[in-house]
Amino acid sequence: MSDVRQTNISNRTKNSSTNQDISYVMGDKVLKIGSVHQCNCCMGSKTLHPLVSVIDLSKADLSSHTDFKFGFYTILLSECKCEAYRYGHQYYDFSDGTLLSLTPGESISMKDSDNTCPSKGWILAFHPDLICGTVLGANIRDYTFFSYRPEEALHVSLREKQVILELLDKINEELQRCIDCYSQKIISKYIELLLDYCERFYERQFITRNEANKKIIERFDRLLDDHFNTIQSQSYDLPTIEECVRVLRLSPAYFNDLLEYETGKSYKEYLQFKRFEIAKEWLINTDKTLSQIAQELGFRNPQYFSRLFKKITGCLPNDFKMPN
């Protein structure tokens, strides 16, 4: 019964793989792959399940392509010595492997220094339908590293790479079995465990990048100081995270995670904290009125600013300005 079901699913997948699954964009420079099955076909891998695959790059022939756009979640573990600048590798990072995570619709350029794809590594490809209705499907947005830029890739140690490879082996082992009512649940749990380990390894990377991260926070502080201490337009708009990361050259997701790790505050929380720190300084060291301070720091009116100030500091702005 299971064999028949697997055959039917495979046949449906093959029959549904049309030219819509694969196409070229940007003048034939990017190969757009729409389905897991088509990904297997392009990389010379057998389709064992229509919604998920573990692909060995050492057996893939990608000589004619280096740029890809996948229509599904993709985790790429490269075991090659790729160009350092492309994946943001620094002297304080491990170099036993580089892991990139992509959401459906993202593009990736997989090139070594000789402009060819990695000859050693693995791809885990899984379609959103695989995790639909599972715990992972409900929580997939919590894995913010899927929104990181390639330059913010995870650089893993030998031990960390071994953990990842063991989980890929577990997924592949399950794929070798006949598809049954337990397949989706078991595979999605293995993927969830893999993503949890990736979160742990990214946190370790934040630790090893501690000094570099502090410099980023310092640059961010200077950006906010310059913003609030420079005469702004009449709107007194608050700086957005997109505006800040454009200067810092980071992705919003990576910067927000870095900020939370280093300060315990999200971007929104840190911006609020910084506004009140500047407000305290202005109350003590300048002749700005309460209305001026509230307006220039982006609060909608002095009354709202005063209420928040008392909630945070325990006293009203005027009392803070002239302590007993």
- Residue 94: pLDDT band (50, 70, 90) is low
Reference 296, options 220, 239, 231, 221; nearest CA is 231
**Boundary-marking domain end, from 166, 181, 208:** 208
**Boundary-marking domain end, from 147, 176, 208:** 208
65: domain range? 2-208
Tens-digit pLDDT profile for residues 127-174: 999 999 999 999 999 999 999 998 899 999 999 999 999 999 999 999
Do 18 and 143 belong to one domain?
A: yes
**Calpha distance 251→249 (Å, rounded):** 7
**Calpha distance 109→87 (Å, rounded):** 10
Do 8 and 145 belong to one domain?
A: yes
Do 82 and 132 belong to one domain?
A: yes
Do 77 and 130 belong to one domain?
A: yes
- Mean pLDDT, the chain, whole residue set: 84
**Boundary-marking domain end, from 159, 191, 208:** 208
* 23 backbone dihedrals φ, ψ, rounded to 5°: -160, 170
Residue 27 has pLDDT above 70, yes or no: no
**What is the predicted pLDDT for the residue at 64?**
62
Query: Higher model confidence: residue 312 or residue 250?
Result: 250
User: Angle, to 10 degrees, between the axis of helix 252-263 and the axis of helix 267-285?
Assistant: 60
**What is the predicted pLDDT for the residue at 275?**
93
Which 3 state secondary structure label does DSSP give 256?
helix
Q: CA of 15: how far to CAs of 38, 70, 72, 190, 299, in Å?
A: 11, 20, 19, 29, 59
Q: Mind spelling out the 3-state secondary structure of 89-130? A: CCCCCCCCEEEEEECCCCEEECCCCCCCCCCCEEEEEECHHH
Residue 13 has pLDDT above 50, yes or no: no
Q: Confirm if 157 and 94 have CB atoms less than 8 A apart.
A: yes
**Calpha distance 148→132 (Å, rounded):** 23
pTM over 0.85: no
- Residue 12: pLDDT band (50, 70, 90) is very low
In percent, the amount of the chain with pLDDT more than 90 equals: 59
Do 103 and 221 belong to one domain?
A: no
Query: Higher model confidence: residue 142 or residue 235?
Result: 142
**What is the predicted pLDDT for the residue at 312?**
87
State mean pLDDT over 213-219.
Answer: 95
Residue 233 has pLDDT above 50, yes or no: no
Do 116 and 256 belong to one domain?
A: no
Of 89-98, 204-213, 305-314, the poorest mean pLDDT is in 89-98
Provide Rg for the chain, Cα atoms: 25
Q: Tell me the one-letter amino acid at 297.
A: L
Pairing of strands 67-70, 30-33: parallel
Q: Tell me the one-letter amino acid at 46.
A: K
Do 49 and 169 belong to one domain?
A: yes
Residue 51 has pLDDT above 80, yes or no: yes
Do 177 and 262 belong to one domain?
A: no
Q: CA of 261: how far to CAs of 145, 157, 213, in Å?
A: 14, 21, 10
**What is the predicted pLDDT for the residue at 232?**
54
- Specify the number of domains making up the chain: 2
Half-sphere exposure of 223 (CA within 13 A, CB side): 19
Do 184 and 217 belong to one domain?
A: no
Q: Confirm if 97 and 69 have CB atoms less than 8 A apart.
A: no
Tens-digit pLDDT profile for residues 65-74: 668 889 999 9
- 155: part of which helix (H) or strand (E)? strand 154-156
Q: Confirm if 36 and 104 have CB atoms less than 8 A apart.
A: no
**Calpha distance 98→38 (Å, rounded):** 24
Q: What is the CATH number of the domain that holds 291?
A: 1.10.10.60
Do 173 and 215 belong to one domain?
A: no
Do 125 and 9 belong to one domain?
A: yes
**What is the predicted pLDDT for the residue at 68?**
85
Do 150 and 114 belong to one domain?
A: yes
**What is the predicted pLDDT for the residue at 9?**
39
